[in-house]
Structure 1
Amino acid sequence: MPGLGTIVDGACIVVGGVIGLLVGRRFSSRFQETLLIACGLSILFIGIAGTVSKMLVFTDSGFSTAGSVMLVSSLTIGGLIGEALNIEKHMTGFGEWLKQKTGSHDDNGFVNGFVSASLVVSIGAMAVLGPINEGLYGDSSVLFAKSVLDLILVLLMTLSHGKGCVFSFIPVVIIQGLVTLLAGLIRPIMTAEAIDALTMVGSVLIAALGINMVLDRHIRVSNLFPSVIVAIIWAFVSA
């Protein structure tokens, strides 16, 4: 059934978020601060590992790096596009709208939680390859695996960021649903090189989210999101 994997993924995100809310209420602010750092460090090193795994090339004489030019170019071009479109502003605006509609007026972390969790569960190869496999072959296995990972990630993020993380299911369902519908058009450009490029650049964005959480910085990661698309196109054209 086309779309089943995405529906399950969205449901798992909600379940993870609800569990996080129920458990998080038992922790004091001191514990929540530690959980925020722990979650941020985990996301930071998941991002670093994903990038390094695609950049390092091992040879008989040692190792070298690959994809540096693509990485820098994709982040630069994608960042310029994202700033021009001001994606962060639109995501924040939608988060504020959700905050009002859900009666979360006093939840100062709602919008940040929504934006951060949405990016974590929307960026990555599984968010693209899963819907493509489902749309073309009816294979939901990748999305089912992603559902388990997303449940855990959103649960952890909700412990520190609050209710906003629960609503990250909305962009996931929209994005993955569109990829499933357009699978026939997208599949030809998703070469092995394109998947590696997507993973490399997407992992940098995930690491940036971790930096925001650990160091209390405000890297506009949403505005870097087009970098992932630029990387895929770069890899396809260069192949």
Structure 2
Amino acid sequence: MVLLGTIVNGVCIVMGTIIGSFLTRIPEKVKETVMKAIGLSVSLLGIQMGLKSEQFLIVIISLVAGAVIGEYIDLDDKLNRLGMWIERKIGARAKGNIAKGFVTATLIFVIGAMAIIGSLDSGLRGDHKVLYTKSLIDGFTSLILTTTLGVGVILSAIPVILYQGSIALFATQIERFVPTELMNSFIVEMTSAGGLMILAIGLNMLDITKIKVANLLPSILIVALIVTILYQF
């Protein structure tokens, strides 16, 4: 089921919000330790995915070229600006804790590399591991946000399902226009490149690095370009 990972993600946000509504205070040390544990798990998943590559040179070139492109256009900053713009627009029309909880949670859950990579994985390979991991992160995050911003956080499950579900469904249609051998090669190398980005997210969660992971997203397009060129020749 293509949308399984996306649906689980939405359910975890809802469950996290419900549980959070009954918990008014969570010790900081508990929050920190749980997030570190999730960070370790995310890192392990990234390593596992990164080792899938059959041609590491493609992954290296793609990440380097993607990083140059991402830094040049500063994709990370643009996504953050988009988030702030959405927050201003929606916040101006709908005041109150519900609106604030909805907007804040949506920006956290939707804008990020994990949502894109996980949705592509779901659509192309039927592999939901990335979205399952994201679900755990979002579930715990929604729990924490609810204790401070209220039950409006639960509404963020709707745009998360629509956004990630759309990417996953779009990815399933790519195979109709791309030769099987080419698609299989792209999936393998995309998984590896995406895995290294997931590893970067985990390291960021552990406060080991401060990598702008969104600036690495163009690497996915570079992978597709290189794999296509090699397939043609």
Cα displacement string for residues 18-48 of structure 1 (whole angstroms, at most 9, x for unaligned residues): 2123334533332111111111111111001
Distance of 2:71 and 2:130 partners within structure 1: 30
Q: Could you tell me which of 112, 120, 129 is aligned with 2:124? A: 129
AA in 2 matched with 1:36: M
Q: Could you tell me which of 83, 98, 102 is aligned with 1:95? A: 83
Post-superposition shift, 1:10?
Answer: 3.8
Q: SS state of the match for residue 215, structure 1?
A: coil
The answer to whether structure 1 residue 179 and structure 2 residue 171 are counterparts is: yes
Aligned to 2:74: 86
Post-superposition shift, 1:155?
Answer: 3.4
Contact conserved, 2:109 with 2:138, CA < 8 A, in 1? Answer: yes
Aligned to 1:235: 227
TM-score (norm 1): 0.70
TM-score (norm 2): 0.71
Contact conserved, 2:106 with 2:160, CA < 8 A, in 1? Answer: no
Post-superposition shift, 1:115?
Answer: 2.9
Aligned to 2:134: 153
Cα displacement string for residues 191-222 of structure 1 (whole angstroms, at most 9, x for unaligned residues): 33222111110100110111111116431111
Distance of 2:121 and 2:75 partners within structure 1: 22
Q: How many residues are treated as equivalent by the alignment?
A: 208
Q: Give 1:67-82 correspondences, 5 Å limit.
A: 67-82=55-70
My pick for the range that moved more, 34-43 or 96-105, is: 96-105
Distance of 2:65 and 2:123 partners within structure 1: 21
Post-superposition shift, 1:154?
Answer: 1.7
Aligned to 1:29: 28
AA in 1 matched with 2:44: F
The share of aligned pairs that are identical, in percent, is 20
Contact conserved, 1:77 with 1:230, CA < 8 A, in 2? Answer: yes
AA in 2 matched with 1:127: S
Distance of 2:20 and 2:60 partners within structure 1: 39
Distance 1:99 1:81, change over 3 A: same
Cα displacement string for residues 46-81 of structure 1 (whole angstroms, at most 9, x for unaligned residues): 0011112x25xxxxxxxxxx5232122100111122
AA in 2 matched with 1:212: N
Post-superposition shift, 1:17?
Answer: 1.0
Contact conserved, 2:5 with 2:122, CA < 8 A, in 1? Answer: no
Contact conserved, 1:78 with 1:227, CA < 8 A, in 2? Answer: yes
RMSD value, Cα: 3.3
Gaps of 5+ in 1: 56-65, 131-141
Cα displacement string for residues 91-119 of structure 1 (whole angstroms, at most 9, x for unaligned residues): 22333345453622799787455434xx2
Distance of 1:236 and 1:106 partners within structure 2: 41
Aligned to 1:222: 214
Aligned to 2:150: none
Aligned to 1:17: 13
Gaps of 5+ in 2: 91-97, 146-152
Aligned to 1:138: none
Distance 1:236 1:106, change over 3 A: closer
Distance of 1:149 and 1:220 partners within structure 2: 19
